[in-house]
Structure 1
Amino acid sequence: MTAPQYPRLIATDLDGTLVRSDGTVSERTRAAVLAAQAAGSVFVMVTARPPRWLHDLGHLVGDHGIAIVANGAILYDVPHRRAIRTRLIEPEVAIEVAQAIRAAIPDVQFAIERPDRYGQEPVYRNFYPNPENSLIAAVEELLSEPAAKLLVRQPSLAADELLGLVNPLVGQRVTASHSGGHGLVEISASGVSKAAMLADFAAEQGISAAETIAFGDSVNDLPMLAWAGTSYGMANAHPEVLAVVDKTAPANDEDGVAAVLEEFFQPVK
């Protein structure tokens, strides 16, 4: 039996990658994703977004209904709106890390994502409307339960600069990264990454890294891009991404993911 001449698994970041800068997914991209799934490929979104920001993209998840969210901390069933598997930061570790960061970085602000709730300090500068059940409290209360992500914001610093300050403070206790947001670093439990959860998901599907292609644009995508058999960085990607990927795709605003998928699949009309 001849092996298929297309990737068995397609893994893609969302913002800056599959999603255009205006927050939309183009009709061209939708058609390319549906064509890939119709041909038998498994398509999975792998994102820093929290679960609630996936519901509008539920039409893209395919029959398996699964997305990897919160930088790999949550394996999420989009249609049923439930976490299947979580890898969370334990409160004692999160508090220790937050205290170390606050002691060293002036004017730092904290927020958290739990699998089912967002929370922030009163001073945290959130660029999006808060969900209805948001927890507004001191960081000690925010971290009184396990968290999928600890968000660290310092508005006067670039993301790369802030990450450079945070990494030596947290060491191996947690995993720190960023997804391109100015002055924002995202902290997950130790060992958590997009790659780790994607590898587990792929194994459950009976798919190897060699049979996978992955798309990304930012620092938090690097482990996933390294794991995949073929990696694509978007033309608009962070320089660290473009330095290591196998191939460069057109920019997100030029439907770069769709352009690559169209090389393998005939779009669904």
Structure 2
Amino acid sequence: MTRPAPGPDQPPIPVRLVTFNTHHGVGDDRRHDLPRLATVLAAADADVICLQEVDSHFGERSEDVDQAVLLSRALDMQLAWGPAIDQPGRVGKPRRQYGNALLSRLPILVSDVHPLPGGGEPRSALRTLVELDGGALWVTTTHLSTRSADERAEQAALLRDLHTEPMATGVVVGDFNAGPDAPELAPLRESFADAWTLATERDDQARWRFWQRQEGLTHPARSPHVRIDQVWVTPGIAVAGARVLDGGGASDHLPLAVDLLVPSGV
């Protein structure tokens, strides 16, 4: 995939992006601890944070709070919300929701939610346009099915098709429940490239295990051995660095951070 360099009079725009499957704020100690999660996210010092498995008044497992709103307030970031499950609440209570969220230091211009095909647990994609200083970036946050490769292939095709021609500069991020080379992610590879592979500098939180160095492994958090949390970028976006962060025990996944260089003027 050819990646043209920005012109000399238009330097690329740096954007730090983090994706993190939060396991509805329940850590590997089985405790729901939203302040712990907020601390991990704040330490990432990201411009855009993409979250999966976020609860909003979902029930006792997350103390019936709106996690997305509370996290956005704690981090003083703008919020886009994309439920995959949306059910009526109890009488007099808010709707019971679960899905994806995007937190941003950058202005959020538009956002919309797209259901993904497949059975079992409902899945969705949250598509958001964020404004950059001299440009814009489409960010699609998602969480694919665990049921079958065939379902994930259908979902990956829809994600590819969501990114239309006018959306020349963008990323698709989240928990894909498959490795980046999995056959079912072939539709994504038609239009996007794996940011981890493109990164000039890479580092793995599990680097003390010499056989896992620079592999980007994110799950399970205590002993990661798969790379299912990924960032995919369109042609023209360079990746200065990628690293797996210390999750602080806040989830059963580890966060992935990438430093993007987004072309100006698009």
- TM-score, with normalisation over the residues of structure 2? 0.34
Instruction: Kindly indicate which of the two structures has a greater share of residues assigned to helix.
Output: 1
- TM-score, with normalisation over the residues of structure 1? 0.34
Instruction: Kindly indicate which of the two structures has a greater share of residues assigned to strand.
Output: 2
